[in-house]
Every structure is written in structure tokens, then in C-alpha cells.
Amino acid sequence: MTVHLKDIAAYTGVSIKTVSNVVNGNYEHVGPETRALVLDAIKKMNYKPNSAARHLRKAQVSVLAYAFPDLTNPYFADIGNAIATEAARLNYTVLLDYTFSERDKELNILTGMSPHLIDGLILDSHALDVEDIRQIKSSGPIVLLGERLFGAPFDHVLIDNTAAAYSATRHLIEAGKRKIAAIGVQKARSEAPSLRLQGFMQALTEANLPIDSSLLMDGGLWHRADGASAMQELLKRKREDWPDAIFCFNDLMALGAISVLGAAGYRIPEDIAIIGIDDIEDGRYANPALSTIEPDKQEMARIAVQMLIERIKGQRTQPPESIYVPFRLHARTSTLGRQAASKDYNS
């Protein structure tokens, strides 16, 4: 008599989906006691999987996908390049999928994963929430990047945004700045703005500096034009109301702010110092060179790819894990001035 999944489910009192998860090695949603119960039933009932069907479901194609929100932001290009490099080292190919930060596109990627096309997905979501994720029946392993979907049932790789923002702001304070603005403050789909604002305010509070709400500037879509627009708004104020330093929540906005200050003939950092986050290549060659926080993008990619492949191969069976990668402060001309040597500080 042939034993089917439904027979094991009836014998153990669990769902067919749970039995299938155990048979296929997908343990992240199965508790250890249930797993042991199902495995014992499989042995007792002499269950033999349909090898042909199992091969069709489990055959690996050595292809991963990376879904990201913004093609115009060099940060995601850096991450994509690091992911592709690490994947190639492990004999995997990477497909890139641009989501435009749109919820429907992110949902389609998750629900439309085809096992015969890709083995697993690395997702940097800017539109979904945890409830979306919990209701999705994904057909393959997923690793999350970025500042969203905390608590989702997938492995997650990111930096400590609060600590990174604190370090950037603390650097400005140590450079003698006392009236510091922030560009990038807004209600956004990602948690990054609120986490970076927390670190910014923490540093000001510890230094007994006031938090001036009029210096908390919206950052739109976090592009160059948004940083430029916020800088123009600050320069419209009376000179005595200007900040002496600006923490931009990413490098693109910082570059936009630098362009406005340069065009208006102001000196950086003598009149206004500027620091960003991301360490994109443009910032290193800006005039002046942009001080920034560099997330360890290589390490982020290495961990994400290796975790995903371990899930694909069934080598990683423990509950989902969140891993924080280190960051580094690069102090350059935009905060130190032209006469000072650049300095690096590790997190």
C-alpha cells in the first residue's frame, strides 16, 4: 500500500503542509516536537517520496534573484555587485529585479517565485509589511536586506541604523558643530528614516544640544534633488538661523546639498559641514570629498548569499536570524576641511 502525505497528516494530526515542510527539509515553520512526530511517523509508515516529482520540485538551477527598490541609487548597485560577486564565487548566477518600491511588484516577486527558474531570493523591501509576508506562501527560501520587515519569518541582514546615525552626528559635534540639521526626515515605507532620526537625536541629547524641529528637513525620495531642495529651503532663512552642520540620511541627498552650497559660494565645512550615509563612489570624488558612514556592503552580501544558499541546500535549519554587519565612519574634507587628513573609524 502506497503511503501519501495525507496519510501521515491524518496519523499525526498535523496539516499536509506541515508534513510537506518536514519531508522537504523546510523546518523554519515547524517546531522541533512536531518535526520529530512527523519524522517518526514517516519511519513507522515506511513513507517513500515520489522521487520523480520530488526531483522536479527540488532540482536546483544555481540561480538566485536580488530584488531592490531604486535603480537610480548607486547604493543598490553596490549591493547588487557585491551579491553577484559572492554568488559567482559559489558558482551561482544572480538575476536582478527592480521593484520601483511598489507593493504589487514586491508581492508578485514573492508569490511568483518559480523553483525551475531561481533557487532563492534576496529582497530589499520598501513597500511590504510583516502581515503581507506572513500571508505569502513562498515557493523558495528568502533572505531580507534593509530596514523593513522586522519580525518577518526570514533571515535578515542589515546595519544598526541608529548607531550609524549616532556616529555621524557625534562626528559633527566633535568637529565643533552645535547647530545641526538633518535632511531625510519623513514618514517612509522603510524604517531607516525613523531609526536614523533616533540616533541623530540621541547624539544631540547626550551633548546637551537642543533638538530644533525647524532643522528636521523632509527628504522626499532621498535623491540628489531632494537634498538640494532641502538645502535651498535652509538657505532662505536668516543667516543666524542657519545650521553649522547637516547630517543627510544618505549620500545622494548630501551631494545635492553640497551642489547648492557650492553654487551659492559657501565654504564646506567652514560655513556648513556635511556628512551622509552609504559611501557611494560619487561621494569620494565630490568637491569637497564627502564624509560618510560606510555599511560593510561586502560583508552584507557575503552573509546574505551564504545564508540563502544554506537554506536552499537544507544546511541551515534553525529559526530565522537577524545579523547586523559593521559600519565605518569615513571623515573627509566635507567635515574636516582641506588641511586635515581623512580619517576612518570602525563601528
Average pLDDT over residues 297-303: 98
196-224 per-position pLDDT tens digit: 999 999 999 999 999 999 999 999 999 99
β-sheet with 291-295: strand ranges across: 216-217, 180-183, 245-248, 273-277, 291-295, 327-331, 343-346
CA–chain centroid gap for 171, Å, is: 24
Report how far residue 90's alpha carbon sits from residue 102's, in angstroms, rounded to the nearest whole number: 31
Report how far residue 182's alpha carbon sits from residue 196's, in angstroms, rounded to the nearest whole number: 10
Confidence of residue 42 (pLDDT cuts 50, 70, 90): confident
Question: How far is residue 266 from each of residues 178, 202, 271, measured CA to CA in Å?
Answer: 18, 29, 6
Cβ(336)–Cβ(175) under 8 Å?
yes
**b/e sequence 96-108, b meaning 16+ C-beta within 10 Å:** eeebebeeebbbe
147-165 per-position pLDDT tens digit: 888 888 899 999 999 999 9
Helix (H, G, I), strand (E, B) or coil at 302: helix
Q: How many residues would you count in the chain?
A: 347
Q: Please, what is the average pLDDT of the chain? A: 90
Confidence of residue 101 (pLDDT cuts 50, 70, 90): confident
Report how far residue 95's alpha carbon sits from residue 293's, in angstroms, rounded to the nearest whole number: 28
Q: Which helix (H) or strand (E) holds 323?
A: strand 322-324
Cβ(63)–Cβ(93) under 8 Å?
yes
Question: Which range has the worst mean pLDDT, 53-57, 184-188, 308-312?
Answer: 53-57
Q: Is the pLDDT of residue 297 over 90?
A: yes
Helix (H, G, I), strand (E, B) or coil at 317: coil
Q: Is the pLDDT of residue 55 over 50?
A: no
Average pLDDT over residues 9-16: 91
268-286 per-position pLDDT tens digit: 999 999 999 999 999 999 9
Cβ(224)–Cβ(255) under 8 Å?
yes
What confidence score (pLDDT) does residue 44 get? 84
Cβ(155)–Cβ(144) under 8 Å?
yes
What confidence score (pLDDT) does residue 148 get? 84
Report how far residue 228's alpha carbon sits from residue 18's, in angstroms, rounded to the nearest whole number: 53
| Residue whose C-alpha is closest to residue 300's, from 137, 139, 156 | 156
Report how far residue 73's alpha carbon sits from residue 84's, in angstroms, rounded to the nearest whole number: 17
What confidence score (pLDDT) does residue 341 get? 66
Report how far residue 123's alpha carbon sits from residue 260's, in angstroms, rounded to the nearest whole number: 34
The answer, as to whether pTM is greater than 0.75, is: yes
